[in-house]
A = this chain, B = another copy of it.
């Protein structure tokens, strides 16, 4: 049918593969390669039964060939391993831009057809697969939710290994094969991820098998690790706690055998570690096996094009023959390249994969694209949650109790940990205590595999609190953990949550796309608790003062984004319980850890949180009529200042009519079109009136509120104060003064916008301004806030209290 020489059957190099198995693996690889090339180029003539014409080529050639050949090779070998060991293995594709590879392999496994029924395992289906790749209405060029064997969005490099560890935790029988590109290996998140084994307990956790794929290049330059001699690589990975197995070459027959051999050793090594640990005789912790594979980039593709080398070079990265539509010579080369795989031998006359190829495919859920771990929702068990009413804080009257809000949450989480000992973990960059969640240590420890010493505090290999000083690892482990069907939370300093902005973005994009595929079952939400926040970072300074993490989250589609600012302990409990029950969201909960007033009883908190926003009666005196001004607040510190503003104004401006609105669910401010939690205009106007000025104090940057109220009645009446990037190590009240969000600023604002009172309040405004000056002088002399600030709390008679309530 064509003039290509028949490929030499793979040489019989010595090794563990029988000739038959060797041929099966090789032919699976070739078939996957063929399918990968087809996806990039063809819109017709899928099996090349006719001579290839320009019309059969897609008008836009998009995709990445370079990584695909090597990844197909690895995939084929893992199938062999699963077939022979019946191990439960999943595949994580670090260079996820190699979308064709996972599509091709899932297609050969039959799973692609299971989830995309129109892509059948025959010529028509293959044609559709090719046509859909990187085309409008089709599938993207990278791994993503549409690829049944991908467990994450593969486009942003760096997170393969951290996700692999997250997936392995509490999955004792799983092996996570994690392919890491040599370019990807240069990213900092990837470099930091190797130390996952310091937190991986072979008794309760599964294994991660890193496969470092040294194909030599990233986009245009060589990679650091590919140019590092083997001895240095050995030292490096030994130092990281691994035992590297090297596989290298470009002669498939030889590399097949050594790959199979290395994989056998790795698998045996993993089993040995696990057996020793699980039989109670861990002995000395052994290094974990890993595999280093050196093969050419774009292996089996065109060796040379127009006189320049391509296979084994950076030129193989994307589309090696880019001019096939214009250049008949190139078209011929493409045809020859595709024929070199001999599709007519790989697929039968219907286009179905040949029997020996499908014979390599493991059975049922052992197929890597059918593993429930890659579609974690299939394994998700609802958490057994304690009744959160048990952790209620008694609040006899608003502001009469002071507490550190996360403490009660800590007790609740302690019991969540007790009741869910295998599918819930807490991830935190060493701040669990600092964030006042200490009670969790009554239920469990911090996790570490190294020997402990007597002065250590709650550390053991069995700990379920994962503390590593890396926001990347904490958040990434949590992603891997929930993507494989478990539950958890990540707590971080607010400012440093931004360290993982782009990771959150990628996870969000995954969730957004999953909604298009009903077979992707819902997973637990990604729960983020920010409790060392910008306004109260007492030991730390300006670097720790940045509330912008939510700005990035809010850029994502509203279907998956939930932002809460509980103003006190009872609200925090309410919100968090809700978050732990939710699915497929990114929940961001911001609530300070410092001693602050408690405002609502448990029942009040329940009602308030279920509405998302409501009028706070105790601080309101409008009697249900139109107030002069609405005071609105989002966040614990803004709530404090707004309550104090109401108090000050009622004390100093008799007759003023005020309404205080507290918003716990930030998204409630949006319109129902813009967010499912959004308030309709009637509700909105009931809360905020139609025309009255609204003095708004917000925890974050003011523009968020402006953009949220855009389109509401008289939007220009919303005067928002919030964080303006002013700060340092100073007193708590000075922080709100520096950012012009103090009770005095808010009170002055309010008076300025109430024309009815303008004539009679200039003295009061002067008085408040004088207070600001007094504050300025006082704190510089006394290093703490003025007594009237320190002692203030809500009093119904507006008499200045002499002392704060007790903690």
* Chain A residues in the interface with B (C-beta under 8 A): 43, 58-60, 62-64, 96-97, 99, 131, 134-142, 144, 153-158, 183-184, 186-195, 198, 218-224, 227-228, 232-241, 309, 312-314, 318, 430-434, 446, 448, 450-453, 455-457, 459, 467-473, 495-496, 498-499, 501-502, 505-506, 509, 512-513, 538-544, 546, 548, 551-552, 554-557, 701-704, 706-707, 710-711, 715-716, 724-725, 728-731, 734, 779-780, 782-784
The answer to whether B539 and A318 have CB atoms under 8 Å apart is yes
Closest to A96 in B: B543
CB distance from A75 to the nearest CB of B (A): 21
The answer to whether A456 and B716 have CB atoms under 8 Å apart is no
Report the bound CA distance from A309 to B454 in whole Å: 10
Report the bound CA distance from A158 to B96 in whole Å: 27
Report the bound CA distance from A186 to B62 in whole Å: 38
Residues of B within 8 A of A431 (CB): 219
Residues of B within 8 A of A544 (CB): 155-156
Residues of B within 8 A of A96 (CB): 543
Residues of B within 8 A of A716 (CB): 710-711, 715-716
Residues of B within 8 A of A556 (CB): 725
Report the bound CA distance from A62 to B729 in whole Å: 8
Residues of B within 8 A of A542 (CB): 140, 142, 144, 153, 155, 509, 512-513
Taking a contact as CB atoms closer than 8 A, the residue among B430, B448, B551, B728 that contacts A552 in the complex is B551
Report the bound CA distance from A99 to B728 in whole Å: 13
Q: Copies of this chain, how many?
A: 2
Report the bound CA distance from A99 to B540 in whole Å: 10
CB distance from A307 to the nearest CB of B (A): 12
The answer to whether A222 and B456 have CB atoms under 8 Å apart is yes
A-B contact pairs, 25 of them (CB 8 A): A60-B783, A136-B780, A136-B783, A138-B729, A155-B543, A183-B430, A183-B469, A186-B195, A187-B471, A188-B188, A188-B473, A191-B195, A222-B450, A227-B448, A235-B236, A236-B238, A309-B455, A312-B455, A512-B542, A546-B555, A557-B724, A557-B725, A703-B703, A703-B707, A710-B716
Residues of B within 8 A of A467 (CB): 220-221
CB distance from A712 to the nearest CB of B (A): 9
Report the bound CA distance from A456 to B471 in whole Å: 36
Report the bound CA distance from A525 to B224 in whole Å: 29
Given contacts A139-B728, A186-B192, A548-B552, 9 further A-B contacts (CB under 8 A): A59-B783, A60-B538, A136-B779, A155-B540, A155-B541, A188-B189, A219-B433, A227-B448, A498-B502
Report the bound CA distance from A715 to B703 in whole Å: 14
Q: Given the interface contacts A155-B544, A309-B455, does A232 sit within 8 Å of B223 by beta carbon?
A: no
The answer to whether B469 and A541 have CB atoms under 8 Å apart is no
CB distance from A171 to the nearest CB of B (A): 22
Report the bound CA distance from A143 to B80 in whole Å: 56
Residues of B within 8 A of A194 (CB): 191
